[in-house]
A and B are shown apart, each in its own frame.
Chain A
Amino acid sequence: MHSKRAPWLLKLSAWGGLVFLHFPLLIIAVYAFNTEDAAFSFPPKGFTLHWFAVAAGRHDILDAVWLSVQIACYATVIAMVLGTLAAAALYRRNFYGKNSITLLFMLPIALPGIITGLALLNAFHAAQIEPGMLTIVIGHATFCMVIVYNNVIARFRRITHSLIEASMDLGADGWQTFRYIILPNLSTALLAGGMLAFALSFDEIIVTTFTAGHERTLPIWLLNQLGRPREVPVTNVVALCLMVLTMIPILGAWYLTRNGSDVAGDGK
Chain B
Amino acid sequence: MPAVQFINVSRIFGETKAVDNVSIDIQDGEFFSMLGPSGSGKTTCLRLIAGFETLSSGSIRIHGKEATKLAPYERDVNTVFQDYALFPHMTVLENVAYGLMVKGVGKKERNIRAMEALERVALGFTAARKPAFLSGGQRQRVALARALVNQPSVLLLDEPLGALDLKLREQMQGELKKLQRELGITFIFVTHDQSEALSMSDRVAVFNNGRIEQVDSPRELYLSPRTAFVAQFVGTANVLNSDLSLRLTGLAGSRSIRPEHIRLTPQPQADSNIVQVSAILKDIHFQGAATRYELALDGGERLFVSEPNNLAASLQTYFQTGQPVVACWNRDAMVALLEG
B-binding residues in A (CB < 8 A): 160, 162-163, 165-173, 176, 180-181, 184-185, 262-268
With A172-B98, A267-B136 in contact, is A163–B85 under 8 Å at CB? Answer: yes
- A264 contact from B50, B102, B103, B131, Cβ within 8 A: B131
Query: A165 vs B82: C-alpha distance in the bound complex, in angstroms?
Result: 12
8 pairs, A vs B, C-beta closer than 8 Å:
A160-B83, A165-B52, A165-B81, A166-B85, A170-B99, A172-B102, A262-B88, A262-B132
Does B88 contact A264, Cβ atoms closer than 8 Å?
A: yes
Residues of chain B within 8 A (CB-CB) of A165 are 50, 52, 72, 79, 81, 85
Interchain CB contact (< 8 A) of A184 among B78, B89, B103? B89
B contact residues around A180 at 8 Å (CB): 87, 98, 101-102
Per-residue interface assignment for chain B, residues 184 to 196, with 1 indicating a CB less than 8 Å from any chain A CB and 0 otherwise? 0000000000000
Q: Are B73 and A166 in contact (CB under 8 A)?
A: no
> Contacts A165-B72, A165-B81 given: A170-B146 contact, CB under 8 Å?
yes
- A172 CB contacts on chain B under 8 angstroms: 73, 98-99, 102
Q: Are A265 and B89 in contact (CB under 8 A)?
A: no
Question: In the assembled complex, which residues on chain A have CB atoms less than 8 Å from the CB atom of B139?
Answer: 267-268
B72 near A268 with CB under 8 A, answer no
Given A171-B99, A171-B103, verify A264-B85 contact (CB < 8 Å).
yes
Cβ contact within 8 Å between B150 and A264: no
**Residue B229 interfacial (CB < 8 Å):** no
- On chain B, the residues within 8 Å of A265 by CB distance are 81, 83-86
B interface bracket (residues with beta carbon within 8 Å of A): 20 to 34
> Closest CB-CB distance, A162 to chain B, in whole Å?
4
User: A262 contacts which chain B residues (CB < 8 A)?
Assistant: 88, 132
Question: In the complex, how many angstroms separate the beta carbon of B333 from the nearest chain A beta carbon?
Answer: 42
Q: Is B12 an interface residue (CB 8 A)?
A: no
B103 touches A263 (CB 8 A): no
User: A173 to B87, Cβ gap below 8 A?
Assistant: no
* Complexed CA–CA distance, A171 and B73 (Å): 4
Instruction: Tell me if A264 and B87 are in contact (CB < 8 A).
Output: yes
A residues within 8 A CB of B85?
Answer: 160, 162-163, 165-166, 264-265
Q: Min CB distance, A175 to chain B, in Å?
A: 10
B52 touches A267 (CB 8 A): no
The answer to whether A168 and B84 have CB atoms under 8 Å apart is: no
Give the chain A neighbours of B81 by CB distance below 8 A: 162, 165-166, 265
B72 and A267 contacting across the interface, CB-CB below 8 Å: no
State in angstroms the CA–CA spacing of A23 and B72 once bound together: 59
Indicate if B163 sits at the interface (CB-CB under 8 A).
yes
Q: Shortest 8 CB-CB distances between A and B: which pairs?
A: A170-B99, A166-B85, A265-B83, A172-B102, A264-B88, A162-B85, A168-B72, A268-B163
Mask for B105-134, Cβ within 8 A of A = 1, else 0?
000000000000000000000000001101
Bound together, the chains give a CA A176 to CA B74 distance in angstroms of: 13
Residues A176 and B102 in contact in the complex (CB < 8 Å), given A169-B72, A170-B78: yes
- A177 CB, min distance to chain B CBs, angstroms: 8
Q: Is B71's CB within 8 Å of the partner chain A? A: yes
8 Å CB interface, B235-250 against A? none
Are B84 and A268 in contact (CB-based, < 8 A)? yes
